[in-house]
Structure formats: C-alpha cells, structure tokens
Chain A
Amino acid sequence: MKNGEGRRLNKGAAEDDDEEEEDDMDLEAWERSYAEDRSWEALQEDESGLLQPIDNSAIYHAQYRRRLHLLFRLLKAQILCAFIEFYELLIGLETISSEMDFKPSRMAVVAKHVEAFIREFFDQNPLSQIGLATIKDGVAHCLTDLGGSPESHIKALMGKLTCSGDSSLQNGLDLVHGFLDQIPSYGHREVLILYSALSTCDPGDIMETIQKCKKSKIRCSVIGLSAEMFICKHLCQETGGTYSVALDEFHFKELILDHAPPPPAIAEFAIANLIKMGFPQRAAEGSISICSCHKEAKVGVGYTCPRCKARVCELPTECRICGLQLVSSPHLARSYHHLFPIAPFDEVPPSRLNDAHGRSQSTCFGCQQSLVNPGNKPGLSVACPKCKKYFCLECDIYIHESLHNCPGCESFRHSKPVTASGKR
C-alpha cells in the first residue's frame, strides 16, 4: 500500500486515464485479484432471501454432457483416429513474441505449455513422432528432428529461445513440408503453428505453398496469439486443420492441449499398412549389458529387442541396430478406448430415484456415494444405457474422461458388450 501511495504522489499532472492505468499496475497482487475478479457476482438469493453461492456443478455438468454427446456422435460415425502421426510444431519467434501481455512473457508461457503438450501428446500417442521448428528473422530453422522421445525435444525447448525479426509463414511451411514429405505412407502428417505476428513477409507466393501442402495431405492447424489473420484461416480451411486465437494464458493452454489426443483420421490421407513391431521383455534387475542408445554399460533396467537382442533404455523407440520399432502392449492398449467409446450416460429424472428400491439404485454403482441428498431429496444422477446402473455426476465425468470403462458393463457377465475378436 505504501509503495502505491508513494508512486501516486509522484505523478503530478498526469492525464486521468493514464493515471488509472498506472494505478492498476501499481496495485499489489492481492488488490488486483479484487479489482479483476468480481466475486460478488457469483452469489444468488435462495427462496428465503439468504445469499448462496451459485451452484456451478450442475451447469458445468450440463456443458460437459453436451461436449460428450458431440464427441460420441463423431466416434460412432466410424471416423477413426489418426494413431500414427508425424507432427511438426512450428513456433514463431518474431519480435512481437517477447511481449509481456502473457505473464511473465509470451515466450516463457509458450515454452511452458509446449512442454506440457509434448508430454501429453506422447502419453496419448505413443507411436507418433514430433519435430520442432522455429521461424526467426524471416528464416525457418529446424530445432529438433522428428523423433519419438519427449526428453530430447523438451531439452531443446528449454534452451535460450530469443525472439527477433519478422515472421515468414511461407518459409516455415516450406521447411516442414520438406520434412513431412519423407515419412512412410501410413503416417498422418500434421503441423501445428504457434503464430504471434500480425503479418508475414514471404519470398514467393504463399498460396502456391498452401496448395503444395494440401496436395501432400499435410493437415495444418494454427493457434494465434495476437489476432485473427486471414492467411492463417485460409491455410487451415484449405488443409482441413483448425484455427483458434488464444485470449489469455489459460485459454492458450486449453487450445494447445486440445491438439494432444489423436484427431479424426481422414481415410485417404494415409494408406493402411501393416507395420512390423516388436514387444521387448524387460531385463531382470542386476543384469549388466551395453545399451545401444547411450553406448555405455548399464546395470539392470532395460529392454531387449526380440530380433537382434540389443538393449534399449526406454519404450517406445526404434532399435538402433536392426531398425525394428519397439513398443509395449500397454502403449497400444492406451489407444483402444478411441475405437470402442463408451456411450454417454442418460440423465435420470429425480422422480425415478424415489421409486427405486434396493441398495444399488440409491447409491452410485461406482463409488457407493449416496444419490439421495439429506432430507430425502433426490440428487442428480445418470444411468448407463447398456447396464442401467446409476452413477453420480463426478463418476460420470471420471468414467468418460479418464477411466474409459463403465464399471457396470464390466462387472456383469451377461451385460458384457460384444467386443472385436481380440480386445486385450
């Protein structure tokens, strides 16, 4: 408080609006949270006139269910997901990227969220590969090659990323096109551009480059950090990608993490093929061997390639000796829930709860929480359309977002859904 007052006295004859702006910046952090966050608006009156906080859980849950229904319709329409992607991430390092509108600076925020994106991406797509590239001073540079190990990309990202010069979208697209043209035909080609600039200085005709990318079946998406630009919108529309502009740091995080799960696969974009892969055994603790990735002797922890018996340190990877793609079965199993999605649960009208008898209907089948509020008022609940078991709202979200298994359907032999011949 004292500092703020001191600075206000020093201003003298400044203009009114300037003073206000500077006042805002002079506020302590705790003051800013009151100035910006109007917490009194999150209240409402109940029937007796007492103040209650707005119950956001029902609203949040309704929004969640709308999203879920949309996603389920998409999956059910037999639009498969692109499980094997070759993903190029193009980061614009123009002068405008060093702006301080995202705290502490745009580049720091971008680097932090790109790291989170890389980890989440490899978690959801263990068979895919990422490559990083930057645009600086109008020239595109490759930061890391296409590879399947998250650590090498994150290490390159954490190095000094300085911003300068103009941006050139055409040079960036030419560079990633060169890389993505060389990949095997069964892989899906994706580019994500993080663009801060409001212009692009190109050596040639960018429309030709866009057509070249479209012909090579490269799907380009853009996340803008400043404002919407026509050329980015046009690029995304032509190649079938998505264009979004981040409003603030949290929105940017949401947008970039939306690109982590496997996107819908456009069938003609990649040829179906059988890829030979090996499932290594994990070596016993205490065994000593020379590992092929670090070229030094290591004790214990490691995997043995089933074809050439070379030792590798982590999975998934490509064996350096014989070139066999090495994965573990849990990596593949991670993607199966996209092929066999759970149907969204139906809302249960509260009146039906009152008629229900028996323990299973008055408590959530998953977590045994009571579905009846104190005072015998029925609370909100949902039911699985297949096994007809009741679940609470939190279990509904958990089951559809993380678990991907309906406990009711899995727990009863007779209602077990018929899966494809070899579901693990």
Chain B
Amino acid sequence: MSVDGRGYPDYIVILVLVCDYWIPFHAKMRNPTKPFPTTLSRMLAFLNAILTLNQLNQVVVIATGCNSCDYIYDSSKATNQSFGNGRMPTLCATLLQNLEEFMTRDEQLGKGEAEERIACSLLSGSLSMALCYIQRVFRSGSLHPQPRVPIDSCYIGAQNSAFLQQASYITSGVHHKPQQLDGLFQYLLTIFATDLHSRNFLQLPKPVGVDFRASCFCHKSTIDMSYICSVCLSIFCTRHKKCSTWGSVFAKGAADLKLMKDHGNGTDLRQG
C-alpha cells in the first residue's frame, strides 16, 4: 500500500508490502535443490527499483506464513554494509536472511498440527500490522491527520479474490490480476510503483466490475439476496426461526405484516 499525508508530499512512496505468497513457497523451500521461485526474485527487483526512484522512498515487507506473520524487512532500519562478496545488494541479502529465519520459526509453530489441514490466509493479521506501521510514520510527521492509505492488490493465482477487489475499490487503490506471470516485474513497476500524485494523471487498470456480494453465515455460499437479522446483522440465505449468532427469536412474518398494515405505511414489500 502507498501512503499520502499532509506531512509528506504526494510524490514520495512509503510502500508496505504484505506478501501472502509464502504458503506454496514454503513447500518449495523444503526441497533445497529447486531454484528460487522467480516471483520472489522479481519482487526483489521491484523493491530495489522503488528505493532508487526517490531517496525518500521507504519499503517495509511483512510476510504472511502458514502459522504466523512478521516483519521481514524495513528500509529505514537497514544499515549500509555490503554483504558477502558484494554481488548481492543489501536489500536482497537482508530480506532473504530474515525470510529464512521467519520460515524456520513458522515451521516450528506448525509442528504437531495435522498435515492435511487446509491452509487459510492470515492476511488480516499482516494488514493490521501494516496499518499500525503506517500510523507510526504519520505520528512522527509534523501534522497528525488520518492518512489516506490506498490498498493495491496484485493477485497471483488461478481464481479471483472478491475480498481484495473490494478492499482496493473502497480504499481507492488498484487491483490487478496479471495475465502473464513472466512479465510480473513490468506489471509491478508500471502499475504499483506509482506515487499518489502521479495516479491523478495515469491511466491505471480499472476494475471490470466489483463483486460486493456477501457469504451467508449458514453455508458460506455467495448470495446476492439474503435475510439480515435486525439485532446482530447476521446474514442468512433462507428464513430461520431463530438467529444462530445471538439467539434472537424472530417475530412471525405474517403477524408483523398485519402490524404494519394497521399502521398504514407502505413498507410491506420489506417483508418480501
């Protein structure tokens, strides 16, 4: 996500990269003879490019693992030492070292759990951490407004993520699903490296349509018409006698209809 704020001019990018790519990566790393996934190397090139675009740009990377999330890299803390024989830039070396340590710790946390467990994302945790970091950056600025934080999302996967589409749309960010993963670096650099000032006059990819549908609480299926409990706002796909979340007992539909007819208002359709 890129950040804007009155203390910071619009042409500076403070990028907090939340990587939710580690689950398949984790599996690949267990086999050390396989080469580094190319996606990771493209991402490193992208991060280096952001830092070279402007001296004041900052990059922070948060990794989302199978069992935990953690900070992997912070460019404001990085020291300027050369690593090894000087062939790898400091960013790559530090990031990869931290990543290895994170994955070892993550694996330790996962020991004892069933292997067949379906892995679901801990994205809410890493997003929360990212937002706390951004708040800290703005606290140290001269003014303390609520920063505008667009959430950009780049979806690398077979399906589609309705959640990421909604998140990017609501926060005025950019959501894109690259069609050809070979050209990932180009997608990242042309779409996601832009600062907020430039976005005013750049033609960035617009969403074809945003899926705002919800999932029902009983079957977790996506629905576009539902029944909502007036007490706790739980979503159901069919009429229930009792709410499963807080246990509120619902009034009978017909009796309520009569009650409203007596009052003579035109909202009978609401009971629909």
List residues of chain A with CB under 8 Å of any chain B CB: 80, 83-84, 127, 181-187, 265, 270-285, 303, 306-307, 315, 322-325, 328-330, 332, 335-336, 339, 364-369, 394-395, 398-399, 402-403, 405-414, 420-422, 424
A382 CB to nearest B CB, Å: 13
Q: Which residues in B have their C-beta under 8 angstroms from that of A187? A: 230
Q: Considering only CB atoms and an 8 Å cut-off, how many residues of chain B contact the other chain? A: 75
A414 and B109 contacting across the interface, CB-CB below 8 Å: yes
Could you list some 30 contacts between A and B, CB below 8 A? A80-B231, A185-B256, A185-B259, A278-B224, A279-B213, A279-B223, A280-B224, A281-B224, A282-B169, A285-B207, A285-B208, A306-B225, A323-B267, A323-B269, A330-B212, A336-B233, A339-B233, A339-B246, A366-B132, A366-B133, A367-B132, A367-B135, A394-B136, A395-B136, A411-B122, A412-B109, A412-B122, A413-B67, A413-B110, A424-B214
Partner pick for B132 among A281, A285, A398, CB 8 A cutoff: A398
- Residue in chain A with minimal CB distance to B242: A272
Enumerate chain B residues within 8 angstroms of A335, measured Cβ to Cβ.
233
Chain B minimum-CB-distance residue to A365: B129
Please indicate the chain B residues that have their CB under 8 angstroms from the CB of A368 in the complex. Answer: 71, 74, 133, 136
Is B226 on the interface with A (CB-CB < 8 A)? yes
The answer for the CA separation of A394 and B137 in the assembled complex, in Å, is 12
Q: What's the Cα separation between A183 and B230 when bound, in Å?
A: 14
Q: Which residues of B lie under 8 Å from residue A285 when comparing CB positions?
A: 206-208
Q: Quick one: which of B214, B225, B249 contacts A329, CB cutoff 8 A? A: B214
A181 touches B214 (CB 8 A): no
Within 8 A of A (CB), among B133-175: 133, 135-136, 139, 146, 166, 169-170
Q: Which residues in window 110-146 of B have CB below 8 A to A?
A: 110, 122, 124-126, 128-129, 131-133, 135-136, 139, 146
Ordered nearest first, which 7 A-B pairs have the shortest CB separation? A422-B217, A411-B125, A366-B132, A323-B269, A410-B125, A329-B214, A272-B248
Q: Which residues of B contact A271 (CB under 8 A)?
A: 251, 256
Q: How far is the CB of B108 from chain A (nearest CB, A)?
A: 12
Q: Tell whether, in the assembled complex, residue B240 and residue A274 are in contact, meaning their CB atoms are under 8 Å apart.
A: yes
Q: Contact: B228 with A332, CB < 8 Å?
A: yes
**Would you call A394 and B225 a contact (CB within 8 A)?**
no
CB-based contact B135/A272 at 8 Å: no
B125→A367 contact, CB < 8 A? no
A196 to B132, CA, bound (A): 42
Contact B69 A411 (CB under 8 A): yes
Residues of B contacting A283 with CB < 8 Å?
209
Q: By the criterion CB–CB under 8 Å, are A407 and B251 in contact?
A: no
Selected contact of B68 from candidates A183, A186, A413, CB within 8 Å: A413
The reply to whether B230 and A186 contact each other, CB–CB distance below 8 Å, is yes
Chain A residues with Cβ below 8 Å from B83 are none
Q: Given A80-B246, A273-B229, 5 other A-B contacts at CB below 8 A?
A: A80-B232, A84-B230, A368-B133, A411-B69, A411-B122
Query: In chain B between 206 and 258, which residues have their CB closer than 8 angstroms to a CB of chain A?
Result: 206-218, 220, 223-236, 239-240, 243-246, 248-251, 253, 256
Residues from chain B with a CB closer than 8 A to the CB of A410 are 122, 124-125, 128
Distance of A127 Cα from B233 Cα, bound (Å): 10
User: By the criterion CB–CB under 8 Å, are B213 and A323 in contact?
Assistant: no
Pairwise interchain contact B269-A322, C-beta atoms closer than 8 A: yes
Please, which residue of chain A has its CB at the minimum distance from the CB of B60?
A368
* Closest CB in chain B relative to A298 CB, distance in Å: 15
Q: Which residue of A lies closest to B128 (CB)?
A: A407
Contacts A181-B263, A306-B225 given: A281-B212 contact, CB under 8 Å?
Answer: yes
Q: Is the interface of A mostly helix, strand, loop or mixed?
A: loop
Contact residues in B for A394 (Cβ distance below 8 Å)? 135-136, 139
Residues of A within 8 A of B207 (CB): 282, 285
**Residues of B contacting A405 in the complex (Cβ-Cβ under 8 angstroms):** 124, 128
Compute how far the CA of A404 lies from the CA of B79 in the bound complex, rounded to whole angstroms: 34
Task: Return chain A residues, CB-CB under 8 Å to B232.
Answer: 80, 83, 339
Residue pair B246, A422 in contact (C-beta under 8 Å): no
Measured CB to CB, the closest approach of chain B to A331, in angstroms, equals 9
Beta-carbon nearest neighbor of A360 in chain B: B70
* Complex CA distance for A184 and B225, rounded to whole angstroms: 20
Which of B135, B209, B248 sits near A284, CB closer than 8 Å?
Answer: B209
Binary CB contact string for chain B from 63 to 94 against chain A (1 if under 8 A, 0 otherwise): 00011111100100000000000000000000
B271 surroundings in chain A (CB, below 8 A) = 276
- Report whether A275 and B270 are in contact in the complex, using a CB–CB cutoff of 8 Å: yes
In the complex, A330 Cα to B71 Cα: how many Å?
A: 28
Q: Indicate if the CB atoms of B214 and A367 lie closer than 8 Å.
A: no
Query: Could you say which residues of chain A place their CB within 8 Å of the CB of B180?
Result: none
Tell whether, in the assembled complex, residue A413 and residue B66 are in contact, meaning their CB atoms are under 8 Å apart: yes
Complex contacts, B220 vs chain A, CB 8 Å: 422
Chain B residues whose CB sits within 8 angstroms of the CB of A339 once the complex forms: 232-233, 245-246
State the Cβ distance, A266 to closest chain B Cβ, in Å: 12
Whether the pair A403, B128 counts as a contact (CB closer than 8 A) is yes
Contact A274 B239 (CB under 8 A): yes
Inter-subunit contact B235/A332 (CB<8 Å): yes
A411 touches B256 (CB 8 A): no
A332 x B214 contact (CB < 8 A)? yes
The reply on B272 being an interface residue by CB < 8 A is yes
Instruction: Check: B200 CB closer than 8 A to any chain A CB.
Output: no
Complex partner residue of B225 from A274, A279, A284, A398, CB under 8 angstroms: A279
- Given A322-B269, A411-B69, A413-B66, A367:B136 Cβ within 8 A: yes
Q: Is B53 an interface residue (CB 8 A)?
A: no
Residue ID in chain B nearest A394 by CB atoms: B139
